Structure 1
Amino acid sequence: MERRAFIRAATALGGLLAAEFAPWQGIGAMAREVDDFVRGPAVRDHPLRQVSPHVWMIFSPDGFPTPENQGMMCNLTFVDTAKGLVVIDSGASVQIGEMAIRQIRKQWKKPVVAIINTHYHGDHWLGNHAFVDAYGKDLPIHAHPGTIREIEGVQGKMWRTLLEQWTNQATLGTRVVPPRLPLENGAELRYGDVTLRLHHYGTAHTPYDLCVEVVEDKLTCVGDVAMDRRIANMDDGSFLGTFKAYGQLEREVASRIWLPGHGEPGAGVLAWNKALFEGIYRPCEQAVKEGLPLEAAKELVLRDPRVASRARETRGFDTNIGKYVSLAYLEAEAASF
């Protein structure tokens, strides 16, 4: 039977069973069983890599979800502490989370004791499902309070559906498991020999981004506030807010390594992303001041050396630059009033 027809049949069967057994408990459990039965395929193993004394990662080589990569587009980070492992961003599906659990069980004989979701885009938190299944429903899952609200609201189901569409159903079976423990700017979590300090500086990539500083390692996981060789999604964000966040991170955080949600970690991640964004936003700002239309602003952006020198190495540049020029132009217009 063709996959989509089978899914429709299973869903209809679940509805009939729910109606039949409505007087009894277990309808929710039955729906979950249908979800678990209709599942996308397992994700191939991706190796762990050590980044600093306490920080390891599973690197995602792809910047965008496809049927071929099954949604494997976001770096997963693990902090090895005396109390157990802390996961920073759990991936885009239950299958990716299960792959990560296979990898960490090869490396360590210790449990996952917490998850931190950096923001509400689904490639960073839909893997929560796998970790809760493996380590219990009471596993602490942290995020900014705004991220918690968004995932509990529209963003949760929307991102689950989007990942299914983008991957041709490869992520099927993933349940929405929201974070529930709020963290604000300046909060600290201590796990024996490791301190995690949280940073939030207003709207950057989203209104609620958390950056996670691993104090002892002088390393900060920046989520999608900055990316390496990938043009960041700014639909929910702010160029000016991102510049502010970079400035505060550079002043207030003593990190030598910036670990992004997409791309390679390194000392130059913020500087690379800042130059690209300055090359997009400042020409739009100039165009608005001079009363030039959007088309002229795009020409200025494409000629800007900060953009031209990075265009070829930036994943998603050609398909996304027009949209991000439009967003920058609209933000510059709003800022001019």
Structure 2
Amino acid sequence: MRAAVLGLIALGASAFACPPLSLQAIVPGVWLVPGAQEAPARGNCGRVANSVVLEGAQGLVMVDPGPTYKDGLRVRQLIRAQIGRPVVAVVATHAHPENVLAASVFVKPGVVFFASDITAARMRRYCPRCRRNLRAAIGEDEIRGTRIVLPRQTIQSARATVELAGVTLTVLRFEGGHLPGNIALYDAARGVLLAGGLVNNRQIPQMRDAQLADWAAVLAELADLAPAHVLPGHGPAGDAGLIAAMRGYFEQLERSVGADVQTGNDAASAPQRLAFPDYRDWAEYLPEHGLNVQKRWREAEQELFDR
């Protein structure tokens, strides 16, 4: 017991609040730092999105560094203890605070900070407000020291090949999907897809900033890669079946809402009519599924009017 407590202290965690972090080996040279499959709260200290570490000849790539400065320090200490190599590049797959606000821990002189041009612009515009919202959710103590650092290297094209820390990655940039400017990273040599917020494992996707048709097209493009391993933005690592499961959810949403709109029903009560029993055990089913139904209902209604 004493050893366990000391281990938490060594990682800089608050034993009474922050869950212990882990660094999970996926394949040689690839690790996942999992987040809780829930909304940011004091009990999870904002660690609700996955981070990924890639090892290359020149060092490590830190993908989606995390939510706060304190969380970043805990992750950095874990990396030093278990891998023992420096982070020489940081990647933000999209501009949500739980993914990017720990960047200042890792972005030092000589360290590349990479994202899409849209993500960099959204971070500049929205991160101050997002930081305030995250502070309200997790508390002032946990977010203390967290500052905003912007990407220095961006991608504007839909697809490119980049080398970070000696790792060759195919970068796919999407204007639609989970959030405008999402990128996914494909490490073809290892057969690993880093999907960022575009794919979850048994967690209802957030569609607040997304159009269903755009996200469905993104998933089709990711499926064409036929990755052996998929590292989702939320939930445990898996294989290409994670992409198929997300596509299944969106296909059912499209069919169900499309039929409901045709009946002349109203949007307000649509979530009660269009419950999806097969997805009730997915994380964040409440409230996200109901919000998705209403979002898609409004889209479908407008499409009907535009015909």
TM tier relative to shorter chain: 0.7 to 0.9
| 1:104-119 matches, cutoff 5 A | 104-119=79-94
Q: Which residue does 2:6 correspond to in 1?
A: none
On the 8 A contact 1:194/1:215 being kept in 2, the answer is no
1:254 to 202, 226, 230: 226
Q: Which residue does 1:127 correspond to in 2?
A: 102
How many positions carry a matched residue from both structures?
Answer: 288
Greater strand proportion:
2
1:145-193 per-residue CA deviation (whole Å, 9 max, x = no partner) reads 011011111x110111111001122212200111121123222122476
Write the distance in 1 (CA, Å) between the matches of 2:63 and 2:201. Answer: 18
On the 8 A contact 1:45/1:99 being kept in 2, the answer is no
1:198 to 168, 171, 175: 171
Q: Which residue does 1:180 correspond to in 2?
A: 152
| 1:35-114 matches, cutoff 5 A | 45-114=20-89
| 1:1-337 matches, cutoff 5 A | 45-132=20-107, 136-153=108-125, 155-169=126-140, 170-183=142-155, 184-191=157-164, 194-251=167-224, 253-267=225-239, 268-295=241-268, 297-302=270-275, 307-311=276-280, 313-336=281-304, 337=306
Gaps of 5+ in 2: 1-12
Write the distance in 2 (CA, Å) between the matches of 1:95 and 1:103. Answer: 13
1:103-133 per-residue CA deviation (whole Å, 9 max, x = no partner) reads 110122321111110011111100101113x
Gaps of 5+ in 1: 1-39
- The residue identity in structure 2 corresponding to 1:201 is F
On the 8 A contact 1:62/1:72 being kept in 2, the answer is no
On the 8 A contact 2:268/2:294 being kept in 1, the answer is no
1:257-279 per-residue CA deviation (whole Å, 9 max, x = no partner) reads 11111101111211112212222
SS at match of 1:216: coil
User: Given the two structures, how large is their TM-score scaled by the length of structure 1?
Assistant: 0.80
SS at match of 2:77: helix
- The residue identity in structure 2 corresponding to 1:47 is S
- The residue identity in structure 2 corresponding to 1:212 is L
- Cα 1:192–1:227 change in 2 (3 A) is closer
Per mean C-alpha deviation after superposition, the further-off stretch among 293-302 and 140-149 is 293-302
C-alpha displacement of 1:295: 4.8
Q: Which residue does 1:9 correspond to in 2?
A: none
On the 8 A contact 1:63/1:74 being kept in 2, the answer is no
SS at match of 1:224: strand
On the 8 A contact 1:205/1:234 being kept in 2, the answer is yes
Identity %: 25
C-alpha displacement of 1:195: 1.2
SS at match of 2:234: coil
1:194-241 per-residue CA deviation (whole Å, 9 max, x = no partner) reads 311111233110121101111111111111111112112211111111
- The residue identity in structure 2 corresponding to 1:51 is I
User: Given the two structures, how large is their TM-score scaled by the length of structure 2?
Assistant: 0.88
Task: Name which one, 1 or 2, has greater alpha-carbon Rg.
Answer: 1
On the 8 A contact 1:194/1:216 being kept in 2, the answer is no
- Cα 1:102–1:325 change in 2 (3 A) is same
Per mean C-alpha deviation after superposition, the further-off stretch among 96-105 and 60-69 is 60-69
C-alpha displacement of 1:299: 4.4
Greater helix proportion:
1
- Cα 1:71–1:215 change in 2 (3 A) is same
On the 8 A contact 1:220/1:255 being kept in 2, the answer is yes
SS at match of 1:222: strand
C-alpha displacement of 1:60: 1.6
C-alpha displacement of 1:44: 5.6
SS at match of 2:143: coil
Write the distance in 2 (CA, Å) between the matches of 1:296 and 1:141. Answer: 44
C-alpha displacement of 1:287: 2.0
Per mean C-alpha deviation after superposition, the further-off stretch among 191-200 and 62-71 is 191-200
1:64-105 per-residue CA deviation (whole Å, 9 max, x = no partner) reads 211111111111100011111001101011111111100110
Write the distance in 2 (CA, Å) between the matches of 1:62 and 1:201. Answer: 24
